[in-house]
Amino acid sequence: MLRSHKPKQSLSNHQVINSNTLSSIGRSSRAFNTLCLTVALLLGTNSFAQEGTFDNDIFIIPYVEVDGSFYRLELHLIPNLDPPEFELIAYSETSIAPELYASSFFDGYLFVPDVIIDGLSYWIELHQSGETSFELNDYGENLAQNKNSLDSSSIQPDWQRLEGGASDIGIGADGSVWVIGTDERPGGYGIYFWTGFDWQRVDGAAVRIDVDPYGNPWIVNDSHQIYYWNGGGWTRLQGDARDVGIGADGTVWIAAGGGIYRWDGYDWERTSGSAVRIDVDPFGTPWVVDHTDDIYELIRGRWIKRPGGARDIGIGADGSVWVIGTSSGSGGHDIFRWNGNFWVQVFGSARQISVDPEGIPWVLGTGGEIYRGL
């Protein structure tokens, strides 16, 4: 609360963020209830749900990144304006712990990835409308985030080992399960699908795989070539990739040597960033793991760093996000599920993961062992 800080001071007694150092906030294309902001606005700006405060019309954002530095902002809500508008009254430079993630301020826009309103998570974007004034530009619900806000006690799977061995696994929104085997062939390893009783091989070879909502696998071979199953054989697509991820809505993303791309039905559209592992939530939003094991989610065109580290990532058609962590266990690395705020560890270890439509993980051990959760 503001009372726990120094009394409010004028801008003359604080550093002022001007247009050269700040650039955020714009015009709202949608109505947003001012009463919601004045009464219910709470910011979850890090993995421990440490909240910003809104009291006596003072809105405090504890961590905002500006050009590699971190700031604590104090803004005052200007009454009776629609869309809502805030006046910057003070800021101070601060530090941020490595496990926390911050809001960002870039090119005139202040982007806050997690705003909790009535128990639901939203993102908001403010645009700088004057030297020290900021206007609500846009907002939206973090759909996948809200789906993952569940009781961590309900997610512990019971592991059942299946026959066979595999080096990668993908599961479609229709429940189809495909794996890359351990039998070397030109192009990588054999490709198999689960019949419900055993594994059936199809022609071809690959090293990475995911499955679209209709049960058709998309693969990457050891030459980084991209193919999808057309029902009777493989169709090659242009481009190259290191990994492929497909959402329950059919959106296809790849992590390539030259960046991260989305398939538009005709060509690959590049977005910013780079990654070594990728998967896609039911709304077409990619989550990635980069070469330093950091985890990111793409929100409103910005990569938002999530806490922790990972070696692989899988997302179910229900929106549940699972990762293989970085701490070693007997069967690979620790296994975690995202609960909307932080990662909840479950029993077991593995090196690859995919998630079925009900949010249940299937994993591969260090020796290629195949397990499904029950």
| DSSP code string of 237-283 | EEEE-SEEEE-TT--EEEEETTEEEEE-SSSEEEES---SEEEE-TT
- Asked whether the beta carbons of 245 and 237 are under 8 A apart, the reply is no
- Asked whether the beta carbons of 51 and 59 are under 8 A apart, the reply is no
pLDDT value at position 331?
85
Chunked mean pLDDT (size 10), the chain, 374 residues = 30 35 32 32 34 68 82 88 90 73 81 72 86 88 68 74 98 98 98 97 98 98 98 96 98 96 97 97 97 93 91 97 93 92 92 97 97 96
pTM, to two decimals = 0.73
| Calpha distance 349→336 (Å, rounded) | 9
- Asked whether the beta carbons of 167 and 369 are under 8 A apart, the reply is no
Distance from first CA to last CA of the chain, Å, rounded? 45
- Asked whether the beta carbons of 106 and 23 are under 8 A apart, the reply is yes
| Calpha distance 93→40 (Å, rounded) | 26
pLDDT value at position 95?
81
| Calpha distance 195→177 (Å, rounded) | 8
Structural domains in the chain plus CATH codes: 2-142 (no CATH), 152-373 (2.130.10.10)
pLDDT value at position 42?
31
Residue with tokens 């800080």: 5
pLDDT value at position 311?
98
Q: What residues contact 158, with CB distance under 8 A and at least 6 apart?
A: 373, 374
DSSP 57: T
